[in-house]
Amino acid sequence: MGGNHQAGIGRLAPVPVAVALAVLVGACSGDDGGGTGDDGGDTTETTEADEADEAAVELPADYEGYESTVYADDARWLCKPALADGVCQRDLDATAVHADGTTELQAHEVAVDPPVDCFYVYPTVSNDEAANSDFQPGEGEEIVTAYNQVARLTSSCRVFAPIYRQLTLTRLLAGLSGGGDQGDDQDGPDPRRVAYDDVVDSFRHYVANESDGRGFVLIGHSQGAGLLSRLVADEIDDEPLLRDRLVGAYLLGGSVAVPEGEVVGGDFANVPLCESDDQTGCVVSYASFRSDVPPPGNSFFGRAGGAGQRAACVNPADPSGAGGLTELEPYFNIDPPDGTLLGDPQPFADPARTSEITTPWVTYPGLIEAECVSEGEFTYLSLHVNGDPADPRTDDIGGDLTPEWGMHLVDVNVALGNIVDLVASQAEAYAEG
């Protein structure tokens, strides 16, 4: 990967360490703080007609008759089937850029009547000034992130993506610089509690009013993964009425703990790690690092805190882990809005050829391979980039912050096509019962 040929998407320009650390805290912010979401949102009883319609679907007691006064409003969702102009309705066509420089159009097809739903929680992206974000999503923040990470799943499921009052980058930076404890706001409720209660409120509203008993996939990254991990532990793991409807949980860019050598236990008593592409009710989790830049001793990801436990790693391209290095199917947005950390992708060694790409997305067949690796106390998804200076395609991808971060920024994008395929396989298996 020598010389100018690695311009391609290119490794990202250095990001200020304070910003990087802020995002890290966001990744962990769903793991502590009080509350189960019982008082996370105002609720009202559904009408008698609604109750009659839902009588055939048995729900946990906390979900029966639940209606959020916040999430009953379609304006509180980034993606929802009823939103004609939602984020997930944007153009998702892609161009495959092959190693020999040839290109191939991939038209995105939205499923007409998918058998399952996908419920998505985005990572730390808000630059709002308060400790918690407001309900007004930013184009370069919540909106582009949902477009990048979950919109493509409309080929396999109906997507629901609530806007939630997350712990903001501003608050995290203030905590890191000594401006106050990150988890305890003397002037109001715990910001982490606010974020988590919004997620619980939106999920309960979805289950009680939108799902009609359908199976659901959970997907979240960084702060979103932390909040969904807690939701699985609090709401689903010990509740058969919901656990039986869990198609899969994609908890990415964090650390789900399992006992050494086991696939269940640790963070969840009943929900195991996925081991095959047709297994349902299981977890896919990983943190990604370059194969030539493995986690250093002070890495932020890839290890579990408890004695005798390890961080989970499930490769979405090969859940069994038996195949060794397996080809990934990445997807990158070719023209992200200003202000995002992902940079400006260039799919060719010669940037002038970028104008040949007329779709908003690009993918690179055969460029990236991955396998789960355990070294010392770390378990992670090791990414190998097959760059070739002799061909016209890019030799590299972006996503780097610092060695401690690994490829956190692109945890989802590097394997997005594999995640879509795995969700489709799980959905089929779930529908067949």
The string of pLDDT tens digits covering residues 64-120 is: 999 999 999 999 999 999 998 999 999 999 999 999 999 999 999 999 999 999 999
Any idea which of 45-54, 198-207, 233-242, 270-279 has the lowest mean pLDDT? 45-54
- The pLDDT score that the predictor gives to residue 339 is 65
Tell me the pLDDT of the chain averaged across its residues.
87
Q: pLDDT band at residue 175, thresholds of 50, 70 and 90?
A: low
- Mean pLDDT confidence for 187-211: 94
Model confidence at 309: pLDDT above 50? yes
pLDDT at position 11 over 50: no
Q: Is the pLDDT of residue 14 over 90?
A: no
Residue 38 predicted with pLDDT over 60: no
Quote the tokens at residue 302: 């890839």
Q: What band does 307 get if pLDDT is binned at 50, 70 and 90?
A: confident
pLDDT of residue 338: 73
Spatial CA neighbour of 204 closest among 76, 88, 60: 60
CA separation for the pair 221, 13 (Å, rounded): 22
pLDDT in tens, 330-354: 999 998 877 676 667 789 999 999 9
pTM value is 0.88
Q: Please give the order of strands across the beta sheet that includes 246-252.
A: 77-79, 157-162, 116-121, 215-221, 246-252, 282-284
Distance (Å) of CA 255 to CA 83, 173, 312, 313, 319: 33, 22, 7, 9, 17
The per-residue pLDDT for 346 is: 86
Stretch (H or E) spanning 250: strand 246-252
Condensed to tens digits (0 to 9), the pLDDT of residues 111-164 reads: 999 999 999 999 999 989 899 999 999 999 999 999 999 999 999 999 999 999
Q: Binning pLDDT at 50, 70 and 90, where does residue 36 land?
A: very low
Radius of gyration of the chain (CA): 21
> What pLDDT does residue 183 have?
45
Q: What is the pLDDT of residue 49?
A: 44
Each residue's pLDDT tens digit, 408-421: 999 999 999 999 99
